[in-house]
Structure formats: structure tokens, C-alpha cells
Structure 1
Amino acid sequence: MRFAVFSYLLASLQTIVTATSVQGLYDLVQRRLPGHSEEFVFTLNETTCANSTDLVNDSFTVATGANGSIAITGNSLSALATGLRRYLTEVAHTDVYWFIDSRLDEITTTLPRPNATITGSSIVPWRYYFNTVTFSYTTPFWSWEDWEKELDWLALHGVNLPLAWVGFEKILLDVFQSINMTTSEIMPFFSGPAFQAWNRFGNIQGSWGGELPLQWIDSQFELQQKILKRMLELGMTPILPAFTGFVPRTLTDVYPNATVVNGSQWEGFPTEYTNTTFLAPSDPLFTVLQNLTIVKQIEYYGNITQYYTLDQYNENDPFSGDLDYLRNVTRGTWQSLKSANAAAVWVMQGWLFTSNADFWTNERIEAYLSGVEVDSDMLILDLFSESQPEWQRTNSYYGKPWIWNMLHNYGGNMGLYGQIANVTINPIEALANSSSLVGFGLTPEGQQGNEIMYKLLLDQAWKNTPIDTSSYFRSWAQTRYAEGVSVPTSALPSGVTTAWELLRTSAYNNQNLSAGNAVSKAIYELAPNITKLTNRTGHHPTTVTYDPQIVIQAWNELYRAATQQQRLWESPGFEHDFVDVTRQVFSNAFLSSYESLISTWTASTIDSPPSTKETLLSQAETLISLLHTLDAILATLPQFSLEPWISSARSWALLNTNTTSFTTSTSLQDQNLLTYNAINQLTLWGPTGQINDYASKSWAGLVAGYYVPRWETFLEYLVSVAPEGYRDEEARARVVVVEMGFQKKRKEKRSPWRRKRLQYCTYGCMHERQQTNTTHYMASKYKPYP
């Protein structure tokens, strides 16, 4: 260990680097509005506090300067960036978006000037973003170009406290090597790129399908350096990872006296991949590793933050429920952080208190949190505030600062969904009733859709009364489709605002949390069965909490608007929304058609006329036809296709080998691992389907190549045993467990590679071996759906 460097870095921890420049905002304008950066003047008036630990709300003004410039003044870089977006949306009538990128190029050559001063003040000092698992469900294969767009979006929407997990495996590798562990002892601990979040959480260890490549670790580390530099340029305080205590099993080979316990099994994973080894915070080695982790990041990134994310019991219960044990775990962890960085603040997801509520009684929660003896040394993310808030039952986490968050989405599910009342009224009420609430945030498992809900909460952080959602949705539609000042909002067909009003009052206005408290899942993404597909509630609901006819009306309004104004078909925002609403219409139609088929099948008897089987066959064909048509519609836009997900995974193998073709065994091995990893997450989610279909997607290629064959197999057998099958218990049982040949019809329309892939496709309760073969085969043979 280089003790001189170590001591120097520890000494430097007392002062966070705070040099501030507005150049990052001029660069942002140049990236998104080339040639216009000189028309803006950003003036930073940083607030000076008597107590440097005090948190200050941000504020800005936007006006036309004396020299004709667009003058934006604020007390922080985040305030300036938010003021810039207010100018863009309210004066220039444009914005930046997910999937469709920046629409700022639609502004006319001469930028419009504000006619009056625009002001804004945040009502909370922090605007937080990311869930640890977002880095696996959404960003694992992102390029720097993807991150540039994301970071610009975050800055413009006022986010100033983002999680920054990318490349942490490089830090851990260096840390473990520094205590005399070899690379061969460390690497088997790491999980694949699409599953690293749960390795970091201590839920799983190891990688099925192949070991994580060293080149991947190095490339991600380089990416993290770029991400952090840009975060700082845009006024964000990154939250970096701390050492949690999860270690390779081989640690005890090097340190046989280390105090370790094995975590519990997670989600039915075999012991090989779970029961992660946990080093007790009371062990002196824990503090050594914590110091090394913090110092190593300062050495690589600079002394850029005092906030560190650290979660030790995500969906795993502690070794003991004894109150003193729980208190000592947090005290030891907190003390290790403070020894590494005297200014450190422990950021913790409060999800454990929700997911494992049976274990975490209020008495245990209080004991656990009390181990951090200085309240301001901890920041808790109330992860699912809109549906399952924990801050109320824990008396605002017993005085610890906390952030109100909207989780909204599990596993990247794609249904239209929102709780407009809960994300506007509830955080305002929480702010009035909790003195330790210091921020609003977004914690989606997957950043997959429903962008309006995410913008809504971030905008609510700048308004001290609940936002009028009717006006908000109308402005959203007008700005999204108006193409800047070149097309005034008054020239838009009324159907676009009518459509969004219909969506606002239906899909985005769920108030029945018992029927579903997060984004819905389409049942065609689930393994076919005769039961348990409909009326699911909770985090992956299949229950439709609104009248499906209203969404059809919204679709009709959008279509009618496009017939009245043909240019809408050329609008990326309109194209995206039209496909997205169409996807939801098809999802609802499939659900209704499935219910009709099951009703027909269960009502059949041996005495049923031949027409019953004909009816079933017709209903089955309707279901398959819906899926094929949907796949073709989804294929019209890349954001609704499997191909970009796979291509981005493969691109990292190309990057690692610095070549444009897979000609070496190493590159082929990496390509296969990354592709298999990407597909496994969407399908089996585990070596043999431990969390099957959790992260399913309505993506072209996945619908036709994976879901259709499952449903064809299921429906063919269902029809083949009707009507006598329902009364024959043995035959009925085979409906959900038996392996069957695949439907012969339409095979002539499938290319040989598709026919081969179907032979490995799975449904419902197929054998584990065959399920695993399916994912391996799709990973090695996947081609974009034609």
C-alpha cells in the first residue's frame, strides 16, 4: 500500500472541490443548440451560508438582458440549467425528451426573447435521480453518447443529486488486489453486466453464461470518468458507491480469521450464485476496505462528493434481529465511512423496510437507524413514496434526512401508467408535515416510458402548491408537437390535447392502489397459462385500472389529428406517442380476447357442439394475429425494438477488442456473453428462470420471436384437447405443463433461422434445461426481426 499517497488523500478529504464554472452550461447549449451559445449569458450568484452544512433551495431568473441576450441568473448551476429549460419550454416552446432526443433544432434561426422575467425557486434543496437497479435494467450497455443525452436531460430538469454506479467493479478489483487477493480469486465474484446491480446489493454473486471480462471492467471505468466529469460541469453532486461489506468467498482463504456471515438465499437462486459472503462491520478489515474504497475513488475521480450509497440488506434479512446487533451493524458501517471521509453522508435506499416489512418492525428500524448517531450523516431514500411510503410509519425515519421518491416502474415494464394526484399532492403534504424532508426524487427500476410522469414530479419540486395536471398535460402535448415557435400551438389540431386529457384522466390517474401500484404488464409477455395471468395486482399488475375504451378514444383523437395535419406523422414525438398508445390498445385487446377464449374453454363440455372448437380456434388465431400485427407496429421505431438493446451489448465487445469484426476467440466469447446476458435478463432472469419474465418488454423481435411461439404452443394444445379436455383432469393438467410440438401453420413464412429459434423457445412450465437453451440460442443467433 502506498501509505504516503493514502495519508495525503485522507487529509484532503476535509475539503470538497467546489470550484464552479458556468462553462458546462454554455457547452450544453452548444451541444443541443449549435451556434446559439453566444446568445445566452449565464450568471452564477452562489449562496454563502453561515453554516456550510446548511442546505439551500435553488432559485433563478430568466430575462432579456440589456444587450439583447437571454440572461439567466441563479444561485447554483442546477438553478441555471433549470432556468434554461424554463426558457426553452415557455418562450421557445420546445424541450428535450427520452427516446426522441432534443427537439431544440426546431427553434427558428433567431431565438425568441422573453417578454417578461421568468422566476423560479425550488421548494427542496435536492432533486434526486436513479435506482441502483436502473443501472442494470436501463443503462448497462449505454455508450457515452447515451449518457451525454441522459445527463443533459437531468441537468435541464433540475436534478442535482444523481446516483453514479458505473465502473465500480474497477474500484473493487483494485481494492481487493491491494489486500493481496489475486485476480483469479476476485473475478468469479462479479456478475454479468445486466445483473451487476444485484451483485452490488449482495443478492447474487458470480456470472452464469461466462465470467465478466476484464476489458468490460476497464471500459466501464473509463466511461465513469467521463460521466462524473460531466455531472460536475452541470452542477450535480454525484453519489458514489461505498464499500458495503459483500466480498468474494475466497476472502477467507487470504484472511482466515475474518468475521464473515453468509447472506440468505435470494429469489430461489442456487447457492453457487447467492448466499453472498458478508464481512462484519465490526471486523477491523471492514474499515480498511472502506478506507481503500473511498480513497481509491478520490485518487481516480478527485474529491468530488461527500455522498456515498450503501445498502446492506436489500431483500435479504440481517443475520440477527437482535436490536443491539442491528444497531452495531450501522454504527460500525457509519464509523468506517467517517474514518474514510469525515464529511461522508451515508445514502441508503429505504426499500428494505418495504420489501421485508415482516422483519423490519418499527422497533428494529429505529434500532438500525440509531447506529448512525448524527442524523445529518445519513440520507434515506423513501423509495416508493407514491404507493408504499415508509416515512409516515417511521416518524420521518426518526429524524434522519430523507427524500420523497416516485418509483413508478418495476423491471422496465411498458404500460401507460401514472398517479397524477399522488405525485403532486402527496409530496407537498409531506413537505408540510416532515421537517427532515430534503428532496424529491425519481427511483424507477427501468427508465422505459411514461416520461410525462417523471417530468411532472421534477417540476413539482419548483412549485409550492400541487401542479394543475390538466394544464400541465395540455402544455406537454402542445410543446411536444408544436415544433418550437415555427408552428404556434394554436395551429395544432385539438385532437392532440383531447387525447392527452383522456389519457390523464384514465391511464395516468390510477387511484386504486389495491388493483395495481406501478406500471402494468401486458399478459402476452407472461408464460401462458389458463389461470393467474389476469387480475394480478402489486408491482407488476395486469389489472386494467381504467376503462380501456378511453385509451381507444385517445388513439382515435391522435389519429384524427394526424389526418388533419399530416406533418404530425413526421414529428418524432408524435410518432413515439402514437406507437406507444397503439401498443397499449393492443395489450388491452389481447387481455380481453384471452379472457374470452378462457371463458369459452372453461364453459365447454363433452356435449359441446363442434362449433365450440371452431370458436376456440378462431379466438386463438385472433390472439396470435394481434401479436404479429403488434410486432410489425413496434418495429417501426427503434425504441420499441429488441435490436438496439442487443446491438448496444455487442458494441462493448467490439470496443473492448478495438476491432470492427469478431475475428478473435476473445471477442467472440465476449460477444456471446454480453448478448446472452442481455437476453437472459429480459426472459429467464437467472440461470434457469429464477425470476422469469420480470423484465419482459413489448419490443419488436421479442414479441414475434419469443412470446408468439410460447402462445402458439399453448393455444394449439388448448384447442386440441377441447372440449373434452376441461373435464379430463389429466388432460387439463397437461395444458400448463406438457411439452408440445409447434404449430405447423405459417412455418413456410418463417426463415430457417426463425424456425430453428422456435424449436428452442419456451412457454409456461417447460423444463428448466429447455428454458435455458432458449435464452442461449437467442443470444447466439439473434438477428433483428425483419
Structure 2
Amino acid sequence: MISRYASVCSVLGLAAAPVVLAAPADVSPVAAVEGVVERVTPSAKGAVSFKLNPALQNRITISGAPGSIRVEASDVRRLIAGYGWYLKNIAKVHLSWNGNRLAPPSPLPAPASPVTIESPWKTVFAYNYCTLSYTAAFWDWKRWQQEIDFLALNGFTHALVTAGLEKTWEDFLIGLGYPRDKAIRFIPNPAFAAWWNMGNLEGHGGPLTQRQIDEMAQLGKRIVSRMEQLGMTPVLQGYVGFVPADFSENVRMKGLKLIPQGEWVNFKRPWMVDPTCEAFPKLAADWYRSLRKVYGISGKMFGGDLFHEGGSKGNINVTQAAEAVQKAMQKASPGSTWVIQAWGGNPSRELLNGMDPKHALVLQLTKDMADGGKNLRTFDGIPWVWCELSNFGGNTGMYGGIPLLSRLGSDLSAYMDKGLTGMGVLSEGLETNPLHYALFCDRLWTLEDIPVKEWLRQYALQRYGKAPESVVHALGVLSSSIYSPVRSQEGCTESIVCARPAWNVRKASTWSSGERYYRLGDIVSAARDYLKAANEQPSLMKEETFRYDLVDLVRQVLADAAFYQLQRVRAAFDARDVSGYKKQVQVFLSLITDMDAVLATDRQFLLGTWQEKALNWGKTSQEKALMDRSAKMLLTTWIDQAPRALNDYSNRQWAGLVADFYLPRWKNFFESQLEVLTGKKDRAAADASFLDKTVREELSFAGNGKVYPVVPSGDVLAVANRVMKARRKVLDSLCRDEKHSSGLAWDLKQGSPLRFDVTDRVDAPGTYTATFQWKGGSSALKIHSVKLYEGDREVAADVHEGWTGVENNGNSYTLVLKKYRTNLDSYTLKAEVSGASGADSQGEMILKKNGN
């Protein structure tokens, strides 16, 4: 495999690792802004002047005449944000994580009269720890430079930086006497570094070489330098007490008290030093010394979460522990701020009580894109930031909260006297859903409601250079359907294309959503509207922004159609119609092959694009093989073991991954079920054989050594037209047949107990009602008991006799969940049932939280 890497990478020119240069010398604020202009809009160089005016404070003014624009603000950060606002709102260009349209008119247009703008927010924060692995794991300096410019132009004030922590940990541990070889093995691959930094795992995907560690440190230093140059505050990693699990076996320290942290989803966690013990101050001082050595600054803000997604508190006093962490932080960098994430029950009231509100900030992660601006938690006087969390795992899928964002200003204004100081983007993955993030960025400038209809027309004009009526109509349909979820859920409704196959599969990963709250017909209609515009106005295809959105729409059509087509395959199977089964299977598989063909036309949807970045962090064939393995493993099995809680968590609809990972699984499944249908195997034997083969193939994919294309193949418009034309009849038929339901399907032929994965529906403690509704079949359903399990542990139950059929009696069950999970166990609902007159009974189970 190594020799194969060497030869292929040589052919593709991938042998050279990323070059990380020294940090640029200090430049003046105006020169820094002019540097952004030259990098982002070189044609505007010399046509825009910038002036520092401290008297403006938080205000920014934009004025001038055509070809001579003037921006005034109190500091460099606001000057750049002002220019970004001008580009979008006056010059009508577009910046996004999914393509740009950055050719402003010549001469540069001027506002009709001077414009004054002002953001209502003190803090605009970027990045979840997860973002820096699911999206940015393998970025080089060129990509980071583009990213920092993008953040600055959109008015972001703070951003989490973790590149360089590899060197920090190495220096810190070796300085304490921990063996160098073990310190290297403690450091994970960048693909998994996010969870290392949150205390969930150690060493996964490693070890890195010394050269890689050193280059990552250089990159981190350069990121920090550029952010500071542009007036942004880099948030570095603070010390909250993590050490390798075998630390005490290798280092002797007076007064050291360690707390084992157990496991996180099959991974051994680092242990935690009790912050109140005698050894902690020295450890913290050494950490901050190593941090300064790597980044060249003392730091103004530090991230670091205690007990993230589980972990053990032992017998420590959490309030005193928080005080100790913050005391060490202040000693190392007086006046600094401790930044913590509010997620999964953290931070606890005990932790908050130990924090000095003057030097703390809480990031409230909000996954509810339906109504996430209300009923928010406040933090006992500690300032906090509302942070959208619309993407999980970097999944590919249209999702967001257009109605929510349009009214969010008025929602959040009610919290501005309760500690709210800003907004943030903390999605686990970026580089998706430009519509959602464009509205988020515009939301940063006003608390007033944003009229969606008018905004969508302006969005099309900025993003595509023109706003055809069919496109504006499509955007309106999408905004009121797929971008308007009906309740809180963890990210997009995942496609079953990316799921491990099963007859009743609804989603790909454990904690995600499979709820189909929007109509397939709406997505098909929007895709056809975009194709109509492209065929009538071919110049649209010159814009990378339009090409991306067209591919994304056709991809979404195929991703959703697969769910409904599977029902047809199942119907043929249940009818024991071998010929019909084979026909419907072929239609299903053709949707996947069509998807791969469409995705292959755009670089942003290529597995090779992600892989190339990973390979570029390797110089030797061994380094390349290691980076490639981790890059693929993150997207597929996450761990190189059979337990699959994290399987497909980071699923992506990318060309190459679809064809070589997802498609073979579905082929294997349908072949196994054909053996059942033709009597060659019984169901148990076929299922066992399929599972065995699937697990082996899943685990082998990461190490397959295959290098994927980085150059798109096929013309976007031609392929999109071909696919939508070829599938027109199927899509029209599926749209007619699609049934809307907020419930989970059951079939008594599955046997008792009926099992339902309700992880995406149980999101807080409280009282839930499970209602069983018969839909068809010759027999009614008798329900004897309903129980809720957290992992393997029963956490709620209702035992009584119920009935659902033509008539219902006692078919609703009350489940009282007293405590929401503190780990990552999934929730399963099990119902003991029987048929009133046989096993021919089908229906749905609807689970709702009382009060919603």
C-alpha cells in the first residue's frame, strides 16, 4: 500500500507537504485592511480608502463617489467589517463557504448618501471544537488565509484556534518528564483532535511525525498572528486539568490527585487532575508557558470544558475546581476570559458559581432551528453568546432555519439585559447550506425582523449576479419547507443513501434525525426551477455559486427520493414478487449512481478534495498513508473497531464516497434479501452474512489506499439535465405517493418487542407520550407495555393494556424521563405487543414531549 501511495502521489504532484511560512511582520491597521482588499477583491485596490476614527466607537460609515469609496471606523476590525458590508449591500457581490462571486462593478458603486452601520453585538464567535476536525482538519495556510479574511469581512470578532496544540502538548508533557515517545503517541490525528481537546480521547489516528507536529505549530502561530493583525481575538486552549491516562505511571509530582474519566464511545479518555490539588497550579503554569512558546502570545481568551459529554467528577468540589482553573488562567494572563460551551447539561450550576463573571463567557449551543430564539438558558450573571448549531458531523444535507433567523433579532433582544452579548456559528461542520449562513451573517447587523421574500431576491442577485423569477420562487419554496424545520433536531434529515442498509432505516447515524418534515415534491420543484433558469440563461453556469447550488439541489432530490423508493422495494419483497423486486432495486441503485455522477461535476462535492488536503500534510509515503486513513475513517466508521455508535456520524454525499462506500453496502443488502426472497437462505442467516460482510468492508475502506480525483468530471448542467429527465417519471410518481407522518412505522411481522430509535426525539428530561396508531393490515395491535431505554438501562415505563385498530383504546403511553443522558447513549423505545388476530398489522408510533 505504501509503494502505491508513493507512485500515485508522485503522479498527482502531492509529494510536497504544506509550506508554512513565518508570521508576517506587524503592519499598520490601514495597511492590514488594504491587504484584505488586495487578496479578496484585487480589482478594487486603490479605489477604496480607509480611515481610523476612534470617535465613531462602534459605528462604521461608508461614503464616497463612484470609483472612490471611503470607509471610516474606530479600529481595524470594524474597517474590514465595513468593507464586507459594502461589498454585499452596495457592490452586490457574494462571499460564502460554498463559492464566491467577487467581481465588483467597475467603477465601484457608491451609496446614494453616506451610510452608517452598527452591529448590536459585542461578540461574534466562530467555531465549535468539532468544526476544526469535521471541516478544517487538513487546511493549509492558503485556506486559512481565505477563511480569516472571510470571517473578518463578515464581522466576526473571536475564533477558536487549535492548530498548534500538538506542539503545545509535546512541550508541556516532556517538560514534566513524561517520555517523548509516549507524548507523541498521546497526540491524535487532526481528524480527531477536536475530541482530544475536549477530553474525550487520546492518540486516535496517530502518531504524527515530529515534522508534522512542528509544521502544525508554525501554522497555528501564523493563524493567530493574522487574526490579531485584522483585529480579531484568537481563542486558545486553556488548561482545565487533562493529562494522559498513564501520567502517574511516568511522572511523580507532589500533591498530584488524578480522577479517572472512563470512556467516551469506546475511547479511553485522558484523566483529569483535580484543579484543587497542590500540583495543579504548577501544571497550569507550565501549560501556559508552553502555549506562549508555540503561539508567541499570552492570550486573551481561553477555551476549555470540564466533563464534556460525560466524564467523572469524582469527589471534587466543582465550584472550587472552577475557581482554581480560573485563578491559574488569570495568573498566566491577567484579565483574560475563560470561554466554555453550554452543551449536554454543562456548565452545571456548581461550575458557574466558581467562575468570575467579569472573566468568563458561555457559548450557548442552540440546535433548535425551529424555535431556538426562545426559552433560552441564562447563566447566573455570566455573559453568554447565542450560537447556532445547525450542522452535525459535517453531514451533507439542506438544512437551516430561515424563518427562525428572519425573526431572531426580536427574539434575542429580550435577553440583552440577561447577559446576552453576541451571536456565533458553532456548527460541527461548515462548507454547507450557503442560504442559511448568508442570512445568519446579515442578521449580525440588525435586531429588526428581516422580510424573507425581499431578502431572498437580494440574496439571488448577490450570489448569482441576477435573480431569475424561477430561482426566486425556488428559494421561497425551500425557505418554507426544508429550511423551516418544525421542531428541534440534530442537523439535517439524513439520507438513507448514507445509512447502513435495513428495511426500516430512516437515517444514517445514531443521534441524527430522520424526520421528513418537508415534501419531496417541494425539492423536486425547486430543482426544476433552477434547471429552467440555467437552460434559459446559460450565463448563470459561469458562476461557481450557481453551479454549487444546482448540484446541491439535484443531490437533495436523489437523496430524498431514495427513502420513498425503498418503500417500493420493500413492498415488492413483502409481496414475494421477485421480478418486481429486482426492478425496484435497480431504480433505487440508479438513484445512487446518478447522485455520484452529479456530485462528480463540482469540486466541492469530491471526496478527492478532502483527501488531497489530508495527503498534503504528508511528505513521506508513511505520513500520507496515515493521513489518508484518518481522513477516510472520520467520514465512515470513525473508529477502527466493530462497535458502531459513531458509524456514519460524519457521513457525506461526496463523489467517490457514494460510489465506493455507500453504493456497495446497498448492493450487498439487496443481494442478501434476494436470497431470502428466493429461499436460498432464511432471514437470520442472510442478515448475519450481510452484517459480517458489511462490517469487514466498512472497516477496510479507510485503508484501501485509493486516491480519488480532485478534478470534476462532466458538465454540471448537462449531467443535471440528464438525471432529472431520466428520473422524471419516477420522481413524479414518488411525489404523488409520498405520505407525511410525524411517526415511526411499525410492522408486527418484525415481532415483539417493537423497537424504535428515538434518540432524535428525546432531547431533554420531561414527560413524553408514545401513541400507537394502526394504519393497515387484517389485525389490530394489542399493546402490553412501553419502556424507554438509555443504552441498555430502562429509564421510563408505562405498563397497561392498550389497543389500536379501527378503534383505539388506551393506545397512548406516558413516559417520565427524570434525567437526560450525560453521556452519548442512544434512546430506544420498546413495546411489548401482540396481534389481536394475527401478525398482519402495520402502523406508526408517534412520540411527543408534553408541553410541545
* Band the TM-score falls in, shorter-chain normalisation: 0.7 to 0.9
SS in 1 for 2:264: coil
Q: Is it true that 1:334 corresponds to 2:326 in the alignment?
A: yes
559-568 vs 33-42, greater mean Cα deviation: 33-42
- Give, in angstroms, the shift of residue 76 of structure 1: 3.1
Residue number among 526, 532, 552 corresponding to 1:554 in the alignment: 526
Q: Is it true that 1:289 corresponds to 2:296 in the alignment?
A: no
Residue number among 306, 309, 328 corresponding to 2:300 in the alignment: 306
Q: Which residue of 2 aligns with 1:266?
A: 264
Q: TM-score, normalised by structure 1?
A: 0.82
C-alpha spacing 1:765/1:423, structure 2 compared with 1 (3 Å): farther
Q: Which residue of 2 aligns with 1:737?
A: 688
Contact 1:382–1:390 (Cα < 8 Å) also in 2: no
Contact 1:718–1:735 (Cα < 8 Å) also in 2: yes
More helix by percentage: 1
Q: Which residue of 1 aligns with 2:345?
A: 353
SS in 2 for 1:653: coil
C-alpha spacing 1:541/1:723, structure 2 compared with 1 (3 Å): farther
Matches of 2:393 and 2:474, distance apart in 1: 27
C-alpha spacing 1:20/1:342, structure 2 compared with 1 (3 Å): farther
- Give, in angstroms, the shift of residue 119 of structure 1: 2.1
Question: How many residues in Structure 1 have an aligned counterpart in Structure 2?
Answer: 682
Q: Which residue of 2 aligns with 1:519?
A: 492
1:298-339 CA-to-partner distances (Å, cap 9, x unmatched) read 34434464110011211123324x7x7221221221122122
Contact 2:27–2:229 (Cα < 8 Å) also in 1: no
- Give, in angstroms, the shift of residue 73 of structure 1: 1.1
Matches of 1:535 and 1:176, distance apart in 2: 42
Q: Which residue of 2 aligns with 1:676?
A: 629
Matches of 1:697 and 1:385, distance apart in 2: 20
Within 5 A, what are the aligned runs for 1:605-754?
608=576, 612-654=577-619, 667-689=620-642, 690=644, 691-722=646-677, 731-739=682-690
1:608-645 CA-to-partner distances (Å, cap 9, x unmatched) read 5xxx1111111111111111111111001111010011
- Give, in angstroms, the shift of residue 469 of structure 1: 2.1
Contact 2:124–2:422 (Cα < 8 Å) also in 1: yes
Q: Is it true that 1:775 corresponds to 2:702 in the alignment?
A: yes
Residue number among 161, 165, 170 corresponding to 1:164 in the alignment: 161
Q: Which residue of 1 aligns with 2:841?
A: none
Q: Is it true that 1:195 corresponds to 2:192 in the alignment?
A: yes
Contact 2:499–2:509 (Cα < 8 Å) also in 1: no
Letter in 1 for 2:631: A
Q: Which residue of 1 aligns with 2:64?
A: 64
Matches of 2:558 and 2:697, distance apart in 1: 29
SS in 1 for 2:317: helix
Matches of 1:711 and 1:564, distance apart in 2: 37
C-alpha spacing 1:64/1:434, structure 2 compared with 1 (3 Å): closer
- Give, in angstroms, the shift of residue 441 of structure 1: 0.5
- Give, in angstroms, the shift of residue 430 of structure 1: 2.9
Contact 1:386–1:423 (Cα < 8 Å) also in 2: no
1:700-726 CA-to-partner distances (Å, cap 9, x unmatched) read 00001111111111011112321669x
Q: Which residue of 1 aligns with 2:74?
A: 75
Q: Which residue of 1 aligns with 2:234?
A: 238
SS in 1 for 2:485: coil
Matches of 1:537 and 1:277, distance apart in 2: 28
Letter in 2 for 1:528: P
SS in 2 for 1:397: coil
1:677-710 CA-to-partner distances (Å, cap 9, x unmatched) read 1000011101215411110110000001111111
Matches of 2:296 and 2:53, distance apart in 1: 24
Residue number among 448, 457, 467 corresponding to 1:474 in the alignment: 457
Letter in 1 for 2:543: S
Contact 2:394–2:650 (Cα < 8 Å) also in 1: yes
C-alpha spacing 1:557/1:547, structure 2 compared with 1 (3 Å): same
Matches of 1:264 and 1:393, distance apart in 2: 33
Unaligned 5+ residue runs, structure 1? Answer: 1-16, 49-55, 355-359, 483-488, 655-666, 740-763
Residue number among 431, 437, 454 corresponding to 2:413 in the alignment: 431
Matches of 1:22 and 1:385, distance apart in 2: 38
C-alpha spacing 1:22/1:290, structure 2 compared with 1 (3 Å): farther
Contact 1:23–1:233 (Cα < 8 Å) also in 2: no
Contact 1:517–1:537 (Cα < 8 Å) also in 2: no
Letter in 1 for 2:709: P
Residue number among 700, 705, 709 corresponding to 1:784 in the alignment: 709
Q: Which residue of 2 aligns with 1:43?
A: 51
C-alpha spacing 1:144/1:74, structure 2 compared with 1 (3 Å): same
- Give, in angstroms, the shift of residue 19 of structure 1: 9.6
Matches of 1:90 and 1:674, distance apart in 2: 41
Contact 2:93–2:101 (Cα < 8 Å) also in 1: yes
SS in 2 for 1:352: coil
SS in 1 for 2:654: coil
Matches of 1:590 and 1:770, distance apart in 2: 22
Contact 1:186–1:250 (Cα < 8 Å) also in 2: no
SS in 2 for 1:453: helix
Matches of 1:452 and 1:585, distance apart in 2: 17
Matches of 1:80 and 1:548, distance apart in 2: 44
Within 5 A, what are the aligned runs for 1:82-481?
82-100=81-99, 102-104=100-102, 106-208=103-205, 210-252=206-248, 253-255=250-252, 258-269=256-267, 274-303=268-297, 305-320=299-314, 325-353=317-345, 365-372=348-355, 374-384=356-366, 386=368, 396-426=378-408, 428-435=410-417, 436-481=419-464
C-alpha spacing 1:503/1:771, structure 2 compared with 1 (3 Å): closer
- Give, in angstroms, the shift of residue 23 of structure 1: 1.6
C-alpha spacing 1:432/1:375, structure 2 compared with 1 (3 Å): same
SS in 2 for 1:620: helix
Matches of 1:18 and 1:635, distance apart in 2: 43
Matches of 1:386 and 1:775, distance apart in 2: 33
Matches of 2:641 and 2:409, distance apart in 1: 41
C-alpha spacing 1:20/1:431, structure 2 compared with 1 (3 Å): farther
Matches of 2:492 and 2:199, distance apart in 1: 26
Matches of 1:732 and 1:265, distance apart in 2: 35
Letter in 2 for 1:297: L
Letter in 1 for 2:453: S
Contact 1:640–1:699 (Cα < 8 Å) also in 2: yes
Q: TM-score, normalised by structure 2?
A: 0.76
Contact 2:585–2:670 (Cα < 8 Å) also in 1: yes
SS in 2 for 1:776: coil
Q: Which residue of 1 aligns with 2:743?
A: none
Which consecutive segments of 4 or more residues in structure 1 shift more than 6 A?
Answer: 17-20, 388-394, 535-538
More strand by percentage: 2
- Give, in angstroms, the shift of residue 141 of structure 1: 0.7
Letter in 1 for 2:258: V
Contact 2:201–2:269 (Cα < 8 Å) also in 1: yes
- Give, in angstroms, the shift of residue 155 of structure 1: 0.8
Q: Which residue of 2 aligns with 1:582?
A: 554
Contact 1:562–1:568 (Cα < 8 Å) also in 2: yes
Matches of 1:571 and 1:275, distance apart in 2: 46
Letter in 1 for 2:706: K
Matches of 1:111 and 1:93, distance apart in 2: 10
- Give, in angstroms, the shift of residue 458 of structure 1: 2.6
Matches of 1:623 and 1:141, distance apart in 2: 34
- Give, in angstroms, the shift of residue 64 of structure 1: 0.6
SS in 2 for 1:433: coil
Matches of 2:373 and 2:353, distance apart in 1: 15
Unaligned 5+ residue runs, structure 2? Answer: 1-24, 714-852
C-alpha spacing 1:623/1:421, structure 2 compared with 1 (3 Å): same
SS in 2 for 1:441: strand
Aligned CA RMSD, in angstroms, stands at 2.6
Identity of matched residues, %:
27
184-193 vs 642-651, greater mean Cα deviation: 184-193
Matches of 1:438 and 1:553, distance apart in 2: 40
SS in 2 for 1:383: strand
